[in-house]
Structure 1
Amino acid sequence: MNVICIMSDTFRFDNLSCCGGKDVKTPNLDAFAEKSLCFTNYMCSSFPTLPNRIDTYTGKVGFPHFGWGPMPVNLPTMAGILGDNGYRTQIIFDPPNLQKNNWWITRGFHASHAIHGQEGDLTFLHCNDPVERHLPEEKIRTETKRMGAYLADIHPWINWERKTEFDYHCVKTTVEASKWLDLNYKADNMFLWVDIFDPHEPWDAPDYFVKKFDPDYDGMPMRDPNYGLAAAYTERELKNMRAQYLAEVSMVDKWIGFLLKKIEDVGWMENTIILFTSDHGFQMGEHGHVGKGNREKPDDNLWWPMYSQLRHIPLIVYVPGVTGGGVCDAMVQPQDIMPTLFELLEIKTGYSFEGISFKEQFYDSKAEFGRKYAVSGCNAEDDWKVTPAVTTKEWAYMSIGADGITPELYNRKLDMAENNNIIDRHPEVAAEMKKALEDFFESHNCPRDEYMKLAKKI
């Protein structure tokens, strides 16, 4: 049996038409979902990009112990254990944060192939050409620079030779993965991880994708937002921001579809588990925020609860021989992927997972699952001012709300976007959710006092 995992960075759950998304069409992922099981309550654990992948790669929850940075070398990895059990393992990726050799994010893979040039990933200098400014400072991220230039300006400068859709990174990555399939389709026991940075910003899909969502806009393209307050933008600019993002989503769906067709062409649908997921979402004006954390001119008064737009992400899994087109509402999380794959592959290991296998759900989507509360959080030392969330099928609880003091409670069945805080009406539910968060931190023997303060602060 082979395994292919496809990760698309910053891909919100409500992008998928098959999950009720109305703003964008994702025909290829929708068609894939018809053959698969779609998990409607998949919540990120550790936030954001790198911590999420470490959870997924190791079957552990990292954010109570560490944040943005290297994957701990003492943790066995999914790829490493698969390699020890006779699998050949390959990662093909373009996210720049996975490319730091001393961060060990690709540890355990037999082979690692990177596509360079995303965001601030400098590849080939051409300093005869000046870096041009594209947007005013209040509308972009300014905390990170490369060679003295903001990311919003350095990305188009790096990719100055890009002329066609085939020059975009999500295209290159899926085409390289398709080449890999041509070179390996006769083999068995193969593990391929395909990691696509898009639709992470900057959102610079070809204009013909953007015109599908915002045909009449004639202002500055809102491609690389500020990670701060939505008040920095007009309503018209926010509309274009969403259009730029959805254009990128549409392009990603197209080229993931290309890869899925290649998997079918080489005959791997009969002997390959295929998984599509993301790491986190993004806010584009919801709750007065743009981005995924307080990064732009950090303000002690700007707290960033993990609302659904950040923590609710897609998970679609195809298992050969299992009837597809179903949905499952179990509260699953990234640390569950590793034990699930190992159980499906009948790999036995003495490794102690923190995740829970959801293998049974493929055969009975209504089967009881071993988690009632999903906890999503960001390491306190990362200083994103992102506050934890506890989610059940019915409720969502933020330990510290947007004011930095008051907790918040939402009824997810009536208010999926989490706009109506009803904590005053259901104090008993809030107390139960608060206790679940405290129990979570205590179960992790949190080494930093900040976490229990965070959990108990009201």
Structure 2
Amino acid sequence: MNIIVVMSDTLRYDHLGCHGNNWIRTPHIDAFSKRCMVFDRAYQASFPTIPTRTDMMTGRLTFPFRGWTPLPEDEVILSELLTDAGYVTMLLCDTPHLVRDGHQFDRGFLGWEWIRGQEGDRSITDDVPVPLESVPEKIRTPERMQQYHYRWRAAHWETERDTFVARTMQRAADWLEANHTHEKFFLYIDTFDPHEPWDPPAHYVNMYNPDYTGEVIDHPIYDYCDYLSAEEIKHTRALYAGEVTLMDTWVGHLLEKVENLNLWEDTAVIFMSDHGHYIGDHGRIGKSGQGPDGDWPYYEEVSHTAFMGYIPGSNAAGKRTKVLTQPVDFMPTILDLAGIKKPDGLHGISVAPILKGEKAEEQRKVAVTSATLPVREDRSVCSSITDGNWTLHYRGPNWPAELYDLQTDLAQKNNIYNQQNMAEAQRLHQAYLEVLKGAGTPEEKFALRTELPNA
């Protein structure tokens, strides 16, 4: 069986029509979802970008041990196992972090290609004018953006086909045309869109906010969003929505190539995202930050992700599941689909049976989303623990906790961490400790997470 995977960075699950959104246009992914088993409870695990890809490629949780680091050289990784099993393996990415600065996510692939220019990619020095479209105080790393991404855009973008996701999906479609005759292949495509900067062509922005005349804040500072006006926040949402629709358009181009090459008969296709982004939600803009209660929690807008998969011959087309899944499940799932023995010591649980429309032999109790666990008790690192019905945001015993009943408060507006609901908090916290124990969390880190704060 061939396998194609598309990762879309910073795509909010609730910005897809197939997840109930009624104002953003995503016709191609929505149509694809009707071929798939759609997971309604997919969640981020090790936060953010690079820790997530490490979870995916190793099948082991990253956050108990380390943070944003290169792919560990001593870990058994998915790409190597697939290549050793005779797969023609290819990585195509415009997400710069995977292969720049020695992160080594090209390791194990027979071939790889980096589509250049995204965000802080040091790919251009051309002497071209690069005016900012807002005051720099509202832009995250304005000097770097002006030096690289905005400069690349000014020098190279003439039509929609020059945008990063368009170039990446065109290249993927071309690769399929040249490689679909191999006995079996694994194509992993990692696009940074709709990660900021949110700069889709104007006709995409005009779908959502055509009459705006103010500052364009496409790479906003991560903070409480009182530095932006209501109109600026509205337009920032339109920029993000335009970026989502742009991404959908070019994923559709790739899927059309799958159709034209008659690959549906012997090719599994998975579409997924890594995390979301606050765009005025909870009074914040960004995906992480600090507040008076410590690290920002991973509310649904950030932790809840997209995950859907098509398997040839499956009876799961058009079905949905509430089984929890996380990026750490990616490696065992792909190995099962490829018929390759899984190595010992994985933390992930294969969801291949579910993708095939079969009953899962094993399911996780909770999904944990977390940055790297601290080694000091004065650090307020947040771990968000959910079973899909209840969510606990936990920062350690010395910091305030938050508890929400998602069945009545999906927007997580009413914190009910109190004595009346302490049994639910204790249940989720105990399941969290079981995850940490099962992953082999170092004792000095585990000891700092064993107690709940007073209600």
The two structures have a TM-score, normalised by structure 2, of 0.93
8 Å CA contact 1:281–1:309 kept in 2: the answer is yes
Shift of 1:137: 3.7
Residue 172, structure 1, aligned to residue 167, structure 2? yes
Which of residues 414, 417, 420 in structure 1 aligns to 2:411? 417
Residue 219, structure 1, aligned to residue 218, structure 2? no
Which of residues 318, 330, 341 in structure 1 aligns to 2:323? 330
Q: Distance in 2 between matches of 1:452 and 1:27?
A: 48
SS of the aligned residue for 2:305 comes to coil
Which residue does 1:136 correspond to in 2?
135
Which structure 1 segments of 5+ residues have no match?
none
Shift of 1:212: 0.7
Cα distance change, pair 15–96 in 1 and its aligned pair in 2 (3 A): same
Q: Distance in 2 between matches of 1:382 and 1:105?
A: 27
Q: Distance in 2 between matches of 1:438 and 1:376?
A: 13
Cα distance change, pair 154–102 in 1 and its aligned pair in 2 (3 A): closer
Q: How does 1:172-321 map to 2 (within 5 A)?
A: 172-294=167-289, 303-321=295-313
Q: How does 1:80-99 map to 2 (within 5 A)?
A: 80-99=80-99
Cα distance change, pair 140–448 in 1 and its aligned pair in 2 (3 A): farther
Which residue does 2:333 correspond to in 1?
340
Shift of 1:141: 1.4
Residue 38, structure 1, aligned to residue 38, structure 2? yes
Shift of 1:89: 0.3
Cα distance change, pair 100–394 in 1 and its aligned pair in 2 (3 A): same
Residue 370, structure 1, aligned to residue 369, structure 2? no
Shift of 1:416: 1.8
Residue 151, structure 1, aligned to residue 145, structure 2? yes
SS of the aligned residue for 1:331 comes to strand
Shift of 1:387: 1.0
Q: Distance in 2 between matches of 1:3 and 1:382?
A: 39
Q: Aligned partner of 1:194: which letter?
A: I
Q: Aligned partner of 1:56: which letter?
A: M
- 1:87-143 CA distance string (max 9 Å, x none): 11000110111122622112110101110000011223123x35433322432213x
Cα distance change, pair 61–234 in 1 and its aligned pair in 2 (3 A): same
SS of the aligned residue for 2:89 comes to strand
Cα distance change, pair 348–450 in 1 and its aligned pair in 2 (3 A): closer
Shift of 1:302: 5.2
Q: Please, which moves more after superposition, 90-99 or 246-255?
A: 90-99
State the number of aligned residues: 448
Q: Distance in 1 between matches of 2:267 and 2:186?
A: 9
Q: Distance in 2 between matches of 1:359 and 1:51?
A: 23
Which residue does 2:114 correspond to in 1?
114
- 1:37-60 CA distance string (max 9 Å, x none): 100000111010010011111111
Which residue does 1:60 correspond to in 2?
60
Shift of 1:68: 0.6
Which residue does 1:437 correspond to in 2?
432
Cα distance change, pair 373–125 in 1 and its aligned pair in 2 (3 A): same
The two structures have a TM-score, normalised by structure 1, of 0.92
Q: Please, which moves more after superposition, 239-248 or 353-362?
A: 353-362
Q: Distance in 2 between matches of 1:37 and 1:109?
A: 27
Which structure 2 segments of 5+ residues have no match?
none
Shift of 1:357: 1.2
8 Å CA contact 1:228–1:289 kept in 2: the answer is yes
Q: Distance in 2 between matches of 1:336 and 1:321?
A: 22
Q: Aligned partner of 2:27: which letter?
A: P
Cα distance change, pair 350–417 in 1 and its aligned pair in 2 (3 A): same
Shift of 1:3: 0.4
RMSD of equivalent CA atoms: 2.3
Q: Distance in 2 between matches of 1:385 and 1:110?
A: 41
Shift of 1:2: 0.3
Identity %: 34
SS of the aligned residue for 1:200 comes to coil
Shift of 1:381: 6.1
- 1:380-403 CA distance string (max 9 Å, x none): 4699965110010211110139x9
